[in-house]
Amino acid sequence: MRATAQWYDAPHQPGRCVIVDIDGVLSDASGRQHYLNNAEGRRDWQGFFGSVGDDLPLPAVPALLGILDPSLTVVLLSARPAWVFEKTVDWLHRHQMRWDLLILRGDDDFVHAADFKRSVLFELREAGWEVTLAIDDDERIIDMYRDEDQAALYIHSGYYVGPGH
């Protein structure tokens, strides 16, 4: 896996889990979209990801996670680069998000987010995890999950609408 992973506390034995995206699902990244949709037409990924700690939480999915079976392992899977790992963990703690395993893309991994998440899905399954549901706000990633016979829930963030998406 070209990723950085960290357990909230101790590693869990493989069992049932749910995969949850962060940006647009748990966190409101609308305040960072100007880094990607600017007048110059260039995407400032350093600025976009460097500001992850400023996001406000979105209410729906965190509430859903709060009512899920406590025995279900919550895997947060994001295409955020590993260099924002500590900012991400700080944000999760500050907003009291439920999570067990956090997986971010490696800093040197530039494959499409759907390909990155597909590889993690395969690795989780190979390790014995039963992924019961995946939640994401990118329809391309939802399509990938469904292509892999994975139940998936689409959350509309509005970030992936219009040219270039």
For CA atoms 33, 36, 37, 38, the dihedral sign is: positive
Report the side by side order of strands in the sheet with 101-105: 3-7, 101-105, 73-81, 16-20, 130-136, 152-154
Q: Write down the residue that tokens 């079976």 correspond to.
A: 69
What Rg, from alpha-carbon coordinates, does the chain have?
15
pLDDT at 1: 52
pLDDT at 49: 67
Task: Please write the tens of the pLDDT for every residue from 88-97.
Answer: 999 999 999 9
Torsion of Cα atoms, 146 then 56 then 78 then 124, to 10°: -70
Are the C-beta atoms of 35 and 45 separated by less than 8 Å? yes
What is the rounded CA–CA span in Å between residue 74 and residue 77? Answer: 9
Q: Strand pairing partners for 159?
A: none
Task: Please write the tens of the pLDDT for every residue from 95-135.
Answer: 999 999 999 988 777 788 899 999 999 999 999 999 999 99
Are the C-beta atoms of 156 and 28 separated by less than 8 Å? no
Every domain of the chain and the residues it spans: 3-28+56-154
Return the structure tokens found at 52.
Answer: 């992850």
pLDDT at 144: 98
Which residue did the predictor score with more confidence, 77 or 42? Answer: 77
Question: How confident is the model over 137-150, as a mean pLDDT?
Answer: 96
The CATH class given to the 3-28+56-154 domain equals alpha beta
The crossing angle, in degrees rounded to 10, of helices 139-147 and 113-126 is 40
What is the rounded CA–CA span in Å between residue 5 and residue 119? Answer: 14
